[in-house]
Structure 1
Amino acid sequence: MPDRLPTGTPPARTGGLPDREQLRAFIEGATGRIGKREISREFGLGPEHKAALREMLRDMALDGTLAPAGARRFRVSDRLPESMVVQVTGTDADGDPIAKPVQWDGEGPPPTVFMHPELRGRAALAPGERVVARLRRVGPGRYEGRTLRRVSDAPIQIVGLFRTLPPDDPAASTPARFRPAGRLTPADRRAKAEWVIPAGEDDDAPDNEIVIATPLPQSGPGLHPARIIERLGPQGDARTISMVSVAMLGIPHVFPTEALAQAKSARGIAPAGRTDLREMPLVTIDGADARDFDDAIYAEPDGEGFRITIAIADVAWYVRPGTALDREARLRGNSVYFPDRVIPMLPEDLSNGWCSLRPDEDRGCLFVTMNVAPDGATSNARFGRGIMRSAGRLTYEQVQAARDGAPDTTMQALPPGLLDSLFGAWTCLTHARRARGTLDLDLPERLVRLGDGGEITAIAPRIRLDSHRLVEEFMIAANVAAARCLEARHIPCLYRIHAPPAPERLESLRRTLDLMGLKLPPVGSLRATDLDRVLDSVRDTDQAGLVNELILRAQNQAEYSPEPIGHFGLSLAAYAHFTSPIRRYADLLTHRALLVATGLEPGPAPGHEALEEVGEAITRTERRAAQAERETLERYGATWLGARIGTEMDGHVSSLSRFGIFVVLDATGTSALLPMSALPEDQWHHDEKTQTLHARDTTMAFRPGQALRVRIEEACAIRGTVLLALPDVAPRLRKRRP
């Protein structure tokens, strides 16, 4: 990209993210190629605006305001482009679909796109579906469209709960040949309507089955018809819950034959040409149910400090650029973890086999050794390619019990002093963490326990131990060392970045905390350590959960980028993921770059443009995985609570709205809704300034963080929603949800 402004561009100005019209005017008035760098200079944007700017440019390209002008360059479009993404909104009098641009900020109503019927053999376009369409203008505000491809690269699918037709359904009285087999309730909470499954299109699915369906052409009014194409399992079986999110979000879970064959042909690594670490008692520390062990650690005293070693599975040896394994790993971006299964980034022959650092087995690794001073400063980092032999597969609970004075036989068999050295090095590293002033959010995680038959036996908070923190600090130290090594050698790197929160978010947070009696400095001088000081002040109080959640909401999401803008939450100038290449593609790219940087492989390393493209892709897959894991936990929670309708539980208010109160249940961590209809008869007012919901005629009021005793009123397992009631309030008449 050019290092100067395009010819004729006025001097840069400041004032924050421009609106769409300002951005359009700038691009239209400038000569030369315009990209994100030129826009950032023009409007004085900082790293905290990067994500919002990218989203705005994407939306403006989708709705036709901007058109591509080369790689990551833009020009103003005077009409809808030749092809773009449109969304089906309905049908015309002949039953053919009508669509609109996905985004529209122009004057007047958006253009109407009259879509041609789909080719024979392809499912008809259904309302809500998005496609890339080739457009032809046929008049002012009118276009014809032909489908080039569906955005999902596959026919639209509806994941939901199939219910056979009950006897009291009005359709049950229709003649047998017109009588539908049942109805489908979509798992997507945004979907308002059910689908009808015509007779013969139910794939013999029984009542209460979770299924995948595809739309059928509609010949008349009424519910849209669909055909069941796959049965996932009965709703009561907890093992089908995770597959709902997999199907809804399109997470790849079947490996191509070629990738499986490459993984199966993998073999062990010979020690020739590698540093032999097999005599070093490296240990892995993971969860009790983990099967892919990609990092091992060791520490020994060194003067007043320690010398630590972090060894990471040598995935780059097995997954070479451009192979079927590499293409599939990049497509998946990361492994996805559910209570009952893992959707791995790599086939099991590698992820749980040759790449996994199993105890007492020779394994290839990339390693880094470094000195840790008493104040936590690290120095003399050295990277290498080695062969190792794990001395122990340890769990967090084992390590913590041994630290607390109750070692089991596995811990007793380790070399004397190893545990003390590991915790000693960790103590030093925490000194540096505190000195940097990192943001240490304490967000409760939920642990779902399943019985042998797949039933949910418990949902409880996951306890965070010092052994978790130990491993975390070792991994951070290794990731920082990787970023510094690549920077020093001027090798392009895919950094893990976390931009500072946008000023407007911080100001809103500051005002909210002020109402709670918690003070933050002015936005311009605020640092991560200021936020952490607030967290420390409420630790172990009733406000802790709410304050952690408020501060989390104010943050930007972390992402991957070749631009080294730093990591706000960790207060680090350079940070790159290096320690989990079995489950994250970003780490594999860091390994490849380090091998080039250290002369262990010839290269070349990927360039800046290639890294930017893959960084955006794997940021999306990471967020998709987080959404899948979150929604799955919500469905597990609703399934478990569905068997406890009428039970009273303790919770606390997490947020308020005009339509109800969101409550987090203390026992399970599940978020549930206490709707306005469940409150006592009164006139309720939601005061956004004071973050309260209060009644006009009584003293009753609700505020974030407030403890509540609630009753489980309804639970929809397929959608993961839970409705609550107050134990002492009689329910009002209301439409019950499906």
Structure 2
Amino acid sequence: MARRISGSKTGNEAGEFRPTRDDILKFVKENPDQGGKREIARAFNLKGADRVWLKDVLRDLQDEGLLEKRSKKFTRAGALPHVVVLDVFSRDADGLLLARPSEWPEENGAAPIVSIRPPRGAGARVPGIGERVLAKVFPTEEDIGPAYTARILKLIEKRSDAVLGVLRKLQDGTLRIEPVERRQSELTVDPEHAGGAKPGDLIEVEPVSSGRYGLPKAKVLTVLGSLTSEKAISMIAIHAHEIPHIFPAEVLEEAQDARPATMDGRDDFRPIPLITIDPADAKDHDDAVHAEPDTDDANVGGFIVTVAIADVATYVKLGSPLDQEALRRGNSVYFPDRVVPMLPERISNDLCSLREGEDRPALAVRMTFSADGRKIRHAFHRVMMRSAAKLSYQQAQAAIDGNVDDKTGPLLEPVLRSLWDAYGALRRGRASREPLELDLPERKILLKEDGTVDRVIVPDRLDAHKLIEEFMIQANVAAAETLEGKRQPLIYRIHDAPSLAKQESLREFLQTIGLSLARGAQMKPASFNGILSRVVGSDQESLVNEVVLRSQSQAVYSPDNIGHFGLNLRRYAHFTSPIRRYADLIVHRALIGTLGLGKEGLSPAEEARLEEIAALISATERRAMAAERETVDRLVAAHLSTRVEEMFRARISGVTKSGLFVQLPQFGADGFIPVSSLGDDYYIFDESARALFGERSHKGYQLADEVEVKLVEVAPLAGAIRFEMLSEPKPLPGSKQSYHKARRGKPQSRGPVKRGRSRRR
């Protein structure tokens, strides 16, 4: 608990004691879980006008970059969250374990060191070096030594000693491991330690010795199969990121023993012609929709929209092996060649999948909207439903566009037309809300039967996609509003506004192309939309969309609500995909419990763990994103490995002082061009303009420029590609010539470099 503190005298008119800025900063540092404005005011006994004064001081400290606001709580800038995933890397002189956060933004400098307190209780397992833990962290008061201490909440399975690689056989018969990660050195394997692996196999090995001379030796732990097999590339990411992909026997047994739900305690929604609209290749269907005009004379032109979501809580019981495995996975992971599901197929593709013509349990929300898209009311029901039809996005869109088939013809007027009319109203509401409207095409890799790349496409963005997206957003909002209104703890999906540093960086960039971004006022999505609308159709449209995207914060899960900046919503929770996201299952249980819809509600113990669960599933989401991205990199790199020395049209996707990242639009592939290969001029990195320009020529290259490049090197296992620039530099009159300069004469690396981490909203 935060202690009550007497402030230092600051000479206010009332003659009261107020804390100094240093007092406030010290309190926030020492009380990371009590950093809200209310807690700070209580700690310093501030009332009335003093609370208004405190609000101004806290805003000033934010503007100066000394405090950050996370989930309604203030923290010291650059501070760790109260609950965080840590990697143990060493011990101190007293034998205490030392750790660093498993993820740390590069712009924040060196990651802080955390000293881990010994676990409590007899028999508690102590993590070893290289292991990963979820922990609560507390800042220390000392100026030297670790910046934090930590108490372990949970051990996370992690093996840092295993190496993933491909077995090669040299001409002299020596067996050698080519690691997947290029930063790891090669290893040798004695035949007796090969474990039956054959040359070309993807294997997991453990280093066993390292002599003074020669390469270190290893023994094979697992043979994952031939590198030429159709799913080998995604298996690399699965093992590299330690993604659980094999269900324990007890989990499969529990899933197999599950029996279909009954009507007990459920409303009968089977007469309602709910339909599913999904990708054509979808194997599970967890949401169904229906809309009809509202016949209430007080709501002329309004609609009643029903969204029904698979009732996963019926089958995944709290604390069961199935539940524990779902939490460990956190979410499903989607690769071009496979899906690693959160739940076994018996649950995800069978009992919980809203199959056409079959009875399925669901949690449904009926929402009433006005003609201008304003939600008037909503109510949740636990139901039994029967999908009237399974449609693909393309099929539903074709019907609305006048091209019906045997299935959509009978559905057009009674079902589809009402859905699109209701979407028209919701679209008006969305326009009034003004969420962030970025225009960034998403690419999809199509594979051949052997698992190699066939082609990369940019699927059309249809109104059918937007309809389902908006219906799901409204259902998610309704869930958050209901739970918050009942004072029921839940896990929100939160998205913070861009940091002041990112806003300033964006502002500097926009000035280089003659655009301005207002300073001082609280940032809103409409501020960015105004910028984006001014470049529609111009040569700078792609560039500005990219830079605005990179200025955004990352969305995460949290039991504390700060709203969703990108969607411009005050409260938002994930409710619509419990088959593939554990966060949604938490929200389902919270609704069931607080609305008295059954026995599968949240328990007090689970409510007490929401902060821990939010940190875990945020980490598994980032893990999935990284694994999916790296798999795409490797697939495309392997596809291009036969086209070295060919020329391509490309677009600059990143600029650093070391060189340029470029993307091939037709493949979605990213590669690197070292600054040392750009020519004889001395190139300077202009951070505000996202450009490299020549010191003598004042010509250079800028983010989003279209250029011609030559492919010169590919490393498929690492997903790394290196290009050579063929296009001449262009004049860059706006460059400031005042940013980071590479050191003269220092040789630049020409090796393939993996692309930087992308940021998603």
Q: TM-score, normalised by structure 2?
A: 0.79
Tell me by how many angstroms 1:579 deviates.
0.6
* Structure 2 counterpart SS, 1:371: strand
Residues 285 and 394, structure 1, Cα contact 8 Å, conserved in 2: yes
AA partner of residue 348 (structure 1): E
The aligned residue for residue 98 of structure 2 is 85
Q: Assess, with a 3 A threshold, how the Cα gap between structure 1 residues 682 and 327 changes in structure 2: closer, same or farther.
A: same
1:392-446: CA deviation from partner (whole Å, max 9, x where unpaired): 1111111222222222222113252421211111121121212122112233222
Identity %: 37
State the shift of 1:46 in Å: 5.5
Q: Which residue of 1 aligns with 2:647?
A: 648
2:485 alignment partner in structure 1: 488
Question: In the alignment, is the contact (CA less than 8 A) between 1:156 and 1:215 conserved in 2?
Answer: no
Using the alignment, how far apart are the partners of 2:661 and 2:419 within structure 1? 42
Q: CA deviation at 1:163?
A: 4.6
**2 CA distance for matches of 1:81 and 1:348?**
49
- Aligned-partner residue type, residue 206 of structure 2: T
Q: Aligned to 1:56, what secondary structure does the other structure show?
A: coil
- Corresponding residue of 1:395: 392
Partner of 2:503: 506
Aligned AA for 1:280? I
- Of residues 567, 576, 579 in structure 2, which corresponds to 1:579? 576
Counterpart of 2:308 (choices 307, 311, 314) is: 311
What letter corresponds to residue 345 of structure 2 in structure 1? E
Q: What does 1:200-349 correspond to in 2, within 5 Å?
A: 200-302=192-294, 303-349=300-346
Q: Does 1:591 align with 2:591?
A: no
Answering whether residue 576 of structure 2 is matched by residue 565 of structure 1, we say no
- Do 1:562 and 1:608's aligned partners in 2 also have CA atoms closer than 8 Å? no
Aligned mates of 1:495, 1:325 — CA distance in 2: 23
Aligned to 1:184: 178
Per-residue deviation, residues 27-50 of structure 1 (Å, max 9, x unmatched): 89x7xx663526994983553586
Tell me how far apart the structure 2 counterparts of residues 459 and 207 of structure 1 sit (CA, whole Å).
31
SS at match of 2:545: helix
- Structure 1 position 6, deviation (Å): 3.5
Residue of structure 2 in register with 1:368 after alignment: 365
Q: CA deviation at 1:517?
A: 2.2
RMSD of the alignment, in Å? 3.5
List aligned pairs for 1:686-725, cutoff 5 A: 686-698=685-697, 700-725=699-724
Q: For the Cα contact (< 8 Å) 2:711–2:724, is it kept in 1? A: yes
- 2:551 aligned partner, one-letter code: A
- Structure 1 residue 56 corresponds to structure 2 residue 69: no
Aligned pairs for 1:136-215 (under 5 A) are 153-167=157-171, 172=172, 180-185=174-179, 187-189=180-182, 191-215=183-207
Aligned counterpart, 2:667? 668
CA contact (8 A) 2:260 2:351 kept: yes
Residues 528-547 of structure 1 mapped to structure 2, 5 A cutoff: 528-547=525-544
Q: Deviation digits for residues 271-327 of structure 1, max 9, x if unmatched?
A: 243111111111111111111100000011124121110000010111111111111
Aligned residue in 2 for 1:116:
none
- Mark the runs of 5 or more structure 1 residues left unpaired by the alignment: 65-78, 88-101, 111-123, 133-139, 143-147, 173-178
Residue 456 of structure 1: how far off its partner (Å): 1.7
Distance 1:393 1:63 in 2: 44
1:47 to 66, 69, 76: 69
In the aligned structure 2, how far is the partner of 1:492 from the partner of 1:105? Answer: 32
Distance 1:378 1:734, change over 3 A: closer
Aligned equivalents of 2:496, 2:145: Cα separation in 1? 40
Task: State the distance in 1 between where 2:377 and 2:153 align.
Answer: 53
Map of 1:428-443 to 2, 5 A cutoff? 428-443=425-440
Q: Which amino acid aligns with 1:56?
A: A
Q: How does 1:5-24 map to 2 (within 5 A)?
A: 6-8=4-6
C-alpha distance after superposition, 1:621-672 (max 9, x if no partner)? 1111111111111111211111322222211112212221111111122221
Q: Aligned partner of 2:671: which letter?
A: A
Is the 2:85–2:615 Cα contact (8 Å) retained in structure 1? Answer: no
1:8 offset after TM fit, Å? Answer: 4.3
In 2: Cα distance, 1:324 partner to 1:581 partner: 17
1:167-225 deviation per Cα after TM superposition (whole angstroms, max 9, x unaligned): 4xxxx5xxxxxx7411322x235x25333334433334333432222221323344332
Q: Given the superposition, is the C-alpha separation of residues 620 and 610 from structure 1 closer, same or farther in structure 2, using an over 3 Å criterion?
A: same
In structure 2, distance between residues paired with 1:570 and 1:258 = 40
Alignment correspondent of 1:624 = 623
Q: Distance in 2 between matches of 1:434 and 1:584?
A: 28
Quick one: which amino acid aligns to residue 377 of structure 2? N
Superposition deviation, residue 704 in structure 1: 1.1
Shift of 1:682: 3.0
Identify if the C-alpha distance between structure 1 residues 525 and 56 changes in structure 2 by more than 3 Å, giving closer, same or farther: closer
* Matches of 1:558 and 1:51, distance apart in 2: 18
Q: Is the 8 A contact 1:237 1:454 kept in 2?
A: yes
1:290–1:456 distance in 2 versus 1, CA, 3 Å: same
Mapped to 2, the partners of 1:593 and 1:59 lie a distance apart of 24
Q: How many Å apart are 1:690 and its aligned residue?
A: 3.3
Given residue 182 of structure 1, which amino acid in structure 2 is its aligned partner?
R
Return the letter of the residue paired with 1:678: S
Contact 1:461–1:669 under 8 Å retained in 2: no
How far residue 159 of structure 1 moved from its aligned partner, in angstroms, is 4.5
Q: Deviations for 1:537-590, whole angstroms, at most 9, x for unmatched residues? A: 333444333322222222221111111211111111111111111011111111
Give 1:534 deviation, angstroms: 1.7
Q: Report what 2:103 is aligned to.
A: none
- Tell me the residue number matched to 1:449: 446
Tell me by how many angstroms 1:532 deviates.
1.8
Q: Which amino acid letter does the alignment assign opposite residue 216 of structure 2?
A: H
**Structure 1 pair 212/554, CA: closer, same or farther in 2 (3 Å)?**
same
Alpha carbons of structure 1 residues 553 and 224: separation in structure 2 relative to 1, 3 Å: farther
* Amino acid in the other structure paired with 1:292: D
* CA–CA distance in structure 1, aligned partners of residues 362 and 83 of structure 2: 45
Q: Distance in 2 between matches of 1:481 and 1:736?
A: 51
Distance in 2, matches of 1:333 and 1:697, equals 53
Partner of 2:14: none
Q: 2:354 aligns with which of 357, 375, 378?
A: 357
Amino acid at match of 2:701: F
Q: Cα distance, 1:370 vs. partner?
A: 1.2
Distance in 2 between residues matched to 1:534 and 1:62, nearest whole Å: 37
- Is contact 2:492-2:557 (8 Å) kept? yes
Task: Report deviation, 1:228.
Answer: 2.2
1:35 is aligned with what amino acid?
D
How far apart are the structure 1 equivalents of 2:636 and 2:274?
Answer: 38
Deviation (angstroms), 1:267: 1.8
Instruction: Sort the Cα spacing of 1:61 and 1:280 in 2 relative to 1 into closer, same or farther, 3 A.
Output: closer
Deviation for aligned residue 1:536: 2.5
Distance 1:149 1:209 in 2: 38
Give a deviation string over 1:436-473, Cα, whole Å, max 9, x none: 22112233222111122223211222332211111000
Where does structure 2 lack aligned partners over 5 or more consecutive residues?
9-16, 42-56, 59-66, 101-109, 116-127, 134-143, 147-151, 295-299, 729-746, 754-761
CA spacing shift, 1:383–1:34, aligned 2, 3 Å: closer
Letter in 1 for 2:185: A
> In the alignment, what sits opposite 1:94?
none
- Partners of 2:448 and 2:458 lie apart in 1 by 18
State the TM-score, normalizing by the size of structure 1.
0.81
Distance in structure 1 (CA, Å) of the matches to 2:174 and 2:573: 55
